[in-house]
Structure 1
Amino acid sequence: MFGFIRLILILLVVLTVVYAAVSLYSREMRRLKLKRRWKEKGLTGDRAAFIQRGLKQYDRSFRRKLILLVYIIPLGALALLIYVINFM
């Protein structure tokens, strides 16, 4: 039982690092897209405010919430594996 708890804790730490990396990468890609859109459309005004509004929209988006699958899929697969091994 202690080995299983240790496995879960290590898995959660690794998944947290992966989640943080994917989240930061995705946010940076969104920032680059916003900068590119600003340049392509030749917009005038406050560029920083445009980027901040875009990032606020991104923070509320469905795409941002999909990154949580980094936790759900491996933990669900582990739970399914344990169920299949023990009860089938």
Structure 2
Amino acid sequence: MFAFLRLMAILLVVLTVIYGIVSLYSREVRRAKLKRRWAEKGLTGDRSAFIQRGLHQYDRSLRRRLILLVYVVPLGAIALLVYVMNFM
């Protein structure tokens, strides 16, 4: 039992690092797209406000929430594997 808990703790740390990396990468990709859209359309006004509004919309988007699958998929697979091995 202790080995399983140690495995889960290490797995959660690794998944948290992966989540952070994927989250930061996705946010930077969105920021680059907003900068490119600003330049392509030749918009005028406050560029940083435009980018901040776009990032605020991104923070509430489904794509941002789907990154949480980094936690759900591996932990769900382990839970399914434990269930199948023990109860089927």
Give the TM-score band, short-chain normalised: over 0.9
- Tell me by how many angstroms 1:75 deviates: 0.1
Which amino acid in 2 is paired with 1:76? G
Unpaired runs of 5+ in structure 1? none
The alignment's TM-score, normalised by the length of structure 1, stands at: 0.99
Partners of 1:57 and 1:87 lie apart in 2 by: 45
Correspondence for 2:47: 47
Partners of 1:84 and 1:7 lie apart in 2 by: 19
| Residue-pair matches, total | 88
- Tell me by how many angstroms 1:42 deviates: 0.3
Correspondence for 1:14: 14
Which amino acid in 2 is paired with 1:57? Q
Partners of 1:63 and 1:51 lie apart in 2 by: 17
Which amino acid in 2 is paired with 1:4? F
Which amino acid in 2 is paired with 1:59? D
Q: Which aligned segments of 4 or more residues in structure 1 are displaced greater than 2 angstroms?
A: none
Correspondence for 2:31: 31
Partners of 1:63 and 1:47 lie apart in 2 by: 23
Alignment of 1:57 with 2:57, yes or no, is yes
The alignment's TM-score, normalised by the length of structure 2, stands at: 0.99
Partners of 2:12 and 2:5 lie apart in 1 by: 11
Partners of 1:28 and 1:14 lie apart in 2 by: 21
Q: Share of identical aligned residues, percent?
A: 78
Partners of 1:63 and 1:87 lie apart in 2 by: 35
Which amino acid in 2 is paired with 1:27? R
- Tell me by how many angstroms 1:87 deviates: 0.7
Partners of 1:56 and 1:50 lie apart in 2 by: 10
Unpaired runs of 5+ in structure 2? none
